[in-house]
Structure 1
Amino acid sequence: MVSAFSPFTTVSAAEEPITINASSAIIIEESTGTILYGKNIDEKLPVASMAKVMTEYLVLEAIKDGKIKWEQTYTPSEYVYKISQNGDLSNVPLRQDGSYTVQELYEAMAIYSANGAAIALAEIIAGSETAFVKQMNEKAKALGLTNYEFVNATGLENKDLLGMHPDGTSADAENRLSARDMALLSQKLINDFPEVLDTASTPKKVFREGTDDATNMPNWNWMLPGLVYEYEGVDGLKTGSTTNAGSCFTATAERNGMRVISVVMNAQGKSLHESRFVETEKMLNYAFNNFSVKEVFPANYQIKSQSTIPVVKGKEDQVSIHTKEAINLVVKNGEENAYKPTFQLDQKQLTKKGELTAPVKKDQKVGTMVVSYQGNGSSLGFVDKNKSPQVDVVTKEAVEKANWFVLSMRGVGGFFSGLWGTITDTVKGWF
């Protein structure tokens, strides 16, 4: 569980902790969605083959739901066959009369970014790429994305699809997302289907090894172990490049128990295939050198000034409250004590006097705990701007309802107490 911070704020150029040479960039901590760095994160831009992250999500979801199986086979349509034969695009050549398993096609797409294989998977899942694109956009909405437009399953520019682009999309269209949405989609994929990293982290593989169709599939992610820009901890996720999108890369890496996700779009400085890795390295270094995930507030945490709630009609007249779970935060070095907790009680459960009404159950949720950042820096908020992460505040013990006799005696006691108070006030008035 994590805290709720202030809304996203833009950091001025003078305050920028690092300089990223790209049109848009973001880095988040994966478990909490905390934004560690952002540059132009909400502009919708071309993402090239990073769009295949959504295709991967829908494939893995279909496998999980039993709609398709890894071992089921597919024979290429004319469309898939023609795209797969284009050597100018990333592809594994598919025979028009061939038979390929979902597993083979998925690995070709995830490791080598094979475009024909991606369209084949779209047809397997939805019957056509047109229907699959509809699913892509529907899933984006369901996952909480807000700045996106999916027009095909590959990330290619539609003009490269030989006039066979999905119905309802234009010939010059291409997939576009904001850096924030690309990071959010990747977070959802890794969280919902962590097995994606088993394939994404494969540096190279041979498609149809041992056959006449054997094709080497080096991973375009050159930050994987043993490759040109090897970086400790990197195990995914997806590169992309087109004329309009430029040099793009969604990376994920884990060190010392913290996983981060970075996105760089239209990176500049070196070649089309290298700029994205140079800029990504800057972001990963910044994240791992300056932040860590720590338990800032333990489970069963109490705030002294808010440690109890009064109870009416109960055997006891109050109940203790505490947090149900620990709160883990992404903490910048040296700022472990820069957070202030507050209990926000559920007013719907309280009387006008701020009391709970018995009976009260043990571990009954009575509110939430939020944490505000009190440090010197700026909080960039969370990748999912529609959510306010929080931890439940619950009752420490149960309070049974008092029986009618006890309640009656309290009423009598209250009456005489009030009567005595009236008499003493009157007597005081005599003197």
Structure 2
Amino acid sequence: MFSCKKLLEVKNVRNLSKKISILFMITLLFIASFAIKPIEGQAATSLEVSAESAIVVDAKTGKILYQKNADQLLPPASMTKMMTEYLVLEAINNGDISWETTTQISDYPFSISADPTFSGIGLIQDQNYTVRQLYEGMSIISDNATTIALTELIAGSESEFVKMMNAKAEEMGLPEYQFVNSTGLSNADLGANYPEGTEPDADNLLSARSAALLAYHLINDYPEALDFSSMISSELDGRPLENLNWMLPWEDNNFTQFGYEGVDGLKTGYTTEAGYCFTGTAQQGDRRVITVVMKTDSKGERFLETKKLMEYGFSQFSQTELFPAGYQLDGESTLSVAKGKEEEVDLETAESVTAMVKNGEEELYHIEYQIDESLLNEEGELTAPIEKGDKIGEAVLSYSGEEEIAYLNGIGAQQKVDLVASETVEKANWFMLTMGAIGDFFGNLFGSIADFVKGLFD
């Protein structure tokens, strides 16, 4: 039999073994936590996109969150129709046409509609179609014939409409573009119907940056475009129109792998020259992003790559209030006032300064004052009276990080807010102004005499 001493020794050995096992498990877990974290971080913060060019931007400010070969000119295929959609919506907004305006199908769009190589939906001649019907065909299923019919209604011919497209592109400030027809087909595909003033073998051209800027204007100037691009299905002449965007909330199980929360647009595209491309947009809460992928290899790939861009935009950036309304810069928020009951006035931001900020970079943003110099006298003073809320200048957001912050051309004005007077400064009455002037006179006079006397002894 074991003695009590031996039993105690065995018990101690077992306890020690247990402690060593527990310590070993804790050590393994500790090491594993460090081994796993870098992998998770890399997956969340890095981005590899299988597309010739790509971009993701904040739809509110136009801030570019990621870009790859974004300035490369490529055929956009049916993404071209975003410009056609814009001009149709502009014509409706201007009162030139309405959703209920009707038109008939001429020989040119009818021939396109009847050609199975163009995936035409088979329009009927000698029948009235409303603008709404034709727009749905263009937006939902990217139909070419309905697109051409709309251009003829608005401009008289597709040739004249193409001039409008290029003029609007210049007005929008698209950095790289060429519009030669309204559909995104190659002019070679149109045969003798290619628009006058363009080359018979020409193609539309856009960069991913230009496509994103076009989409920015479309959904911000005419948000009703999303009412159509988010429609999963409709019908025309009794035939179904099913959206080509697989990222919408389809119930079809075949598309669930492509779905993404908040997607409501915008435009697919495919030609042999362009490959598979897609301009997408999604909103989650009060945040919206716009994405573009150009020249991917398949229908599904363009949506999977878009999903990567959207996930990156929403997970790595947050809409952040960096400076609240009424914010004042230390030591810079006071200006001298001439002819006022008060000698100074405080300045503050009229509203909060918000931006799409990459996670962890909140402290890299600052604001700088830009005072309106036309409001200052020769001494750099404001002149009373000044009302509370009067605009004195602007508070401009600046960034001190290593990476350069870029915006779509001409966009980003939301990154500055008005700088205003925080209080009212009334004009001093005539007596106080007179006494001040007298005081200034004698002060200057005594100063001059003192300088003169001092000069005698220098």
Fold match (TM-score > 0.5): yes
Could you tell me whether the CA contact under 8 Å between 1:90 and 1:112 is conserved in 2?
Answer: no
User: Alpha-carbon deviation of 1:385?
Assistant: 4.6
- How far the C-alpha of 1:343 sits from its partner, in A, is 0.7
In the aligned structure 2, how far is the partner of 1:25 from the partner of 1:40?
7
Q: Distance in 1 between matches of 2:236 and 2:426?
A: 67
Q: Within the alignment, does 1:224 sit opposite 2:253 as a pair?
A: no
Q: Deviation at 1:411?
A: 1.9
> How much does 1:419 deviate?
5.1
Amino acid aligned to 2:291: S
1:62 aligned to which of 91, 98, 102: 91
1:338 to 349, 358, 364: 364
Q: Is structure 2 residue 412 aligned with structure 1 residue 383?
A: no
**In structure 2, distance between residues paired with 1:353 and 1:41:** 48
Is this contact kept in 1: 2:63–2:412, CA < 8 A? no
List runs of 5+ in structure 2 lacking aligned partners: 1-44
**Cα distance in 2 between the residues matched to 1:357 and 1:17:** 53
User: Which range is displaced more, 55-64 or 362-371?
Assistant: 362-371
Give 2:288's aligned residue: 259
Q: CA deviation at 1:386?
A: 6.7
Matches within 5 A, 1:396-415: 396-415=422-441
Shift of 1:326: 1.5
Give the equivalent residue in structure 1 for 2:315. 289
Residue 39 (str. 1) matches residue 64 (str. 2): no
Instruction: String of CA shifts for 1:101-129, please: whole Å, max 9, x gaps.
Output: 11111001100000000000001111111
Q: Distance in 2 between matches of 1:43 and 1:18?
A: 19
| AA in 1 matched with 2:246 | W
Q: Which runs of 5+ in 1 are unaligned?
A: 1-15, 209-213
Q: Secondary structure at the match of 1:306?
A: coil
Match in the other structure for 1:211: none
Q: 2:385 aligns with which of 351, 359, 373?
A: 359
Amino acid at match of 1:322: E
Residue identity opposite 2:368 in structure 1: T
Could you tell me the TM-score, scaled by structure 1's length? 0.89
Contact 1:316 1:399 in 2 (8 A): yes
Between Structure 1 and Structure 2, which shows a larger proportion of helix residues? 2
Which residue of the partner structure matches residue 104 of structure 2?
75
Q: Secondary structure at the match of 1:163?
A: helix
Q: Point out the structure with max Rg over C-alpha.
A: 2
What whole-Å deviation, never above 9, does each CA across 1:7-55 have from its counterpart, x for those lacking one?
xxxxxxxxx9311122211100101111000111122221110010111
Q: What is the RMSD computed on CA atoms of the aligned residues?
A: 2.1
- Decide which of 174, 180, 184 is 1:145's aligned counterpart: 174
Distance 2:247 2:178 in 1: 28
Shift of 1:418: 4.2
**Identity across matched positions, percent:** 50
Letter in 2 for 1:110: S
**Quick one: higher RCO (CA 8 Å, sep 6+), 1 or 2?**
1
Q: 1:378 to 1:17 in 2, by over 3 A?
A: farther
8 Å CA contact 1:223–1:230 kept in 2: the answer is yes
Q: 1:45 is paired with a residue of what secondary structure?
A: coil
Q: Deviations over 1:236-266 (max 9, x none)?
A: 0000011111111000001132100000111
- Distance (Å, rounded) in 2 between the aligned partners of 1:191 and 1:90: 30
Matched pairs, number: 406
For the 8 Å contact 1:91–1:117, the answer to whether it is kept is no
Aligned to 2:58: 29
Q: CA deviation at 1:293?
A: 0.8
Matches within 5 A, 1:86-97: 86-97=115-126
Cα separation, 1, equivalents of 2:247 and 2:318: 22
For residues 337 and 198 of structure 1, what CA distance do their matches in structure 2 show?
38
CA contact (8 A) 1:345 1:366 kept: yes
CA distance in 1, matches of 2:215, 2:400: 30
**1:90·1:113 contact (CA, 8 Å) conserved in 2?**
no
Letter in 1 for 2:213: L
Aligned-partner Cα distance in 2 for 1:418–1:173: 77
Contact 1:92 1:117 in 2 (8 A): no
Match of 1:18 in 2: 47
Residues 328-377 of structure 1, C-alpha deviation per residue, up to 9 Å, x if partnerless? 100111222221111111222223322112333432222111122133x5
Conserved? CA contact 2:322–2:354, under 8 Å: yes
Q: Deviations over 1:67-108 (max 9, x none)?
A: 111112211110011011111223221112222111111001
Q: How far apart, in 1, do the equivalents of 2:116 and 2:444 lie? A: 93
| Residue aligned with 1:27, SS | strand
Alignment partner, residue 335 of structure 2: 309
| Conserved 8 A contact 1:37-1:380 | no
Matched, 1:101 2:130: yes
SS at match of 2:345: strand
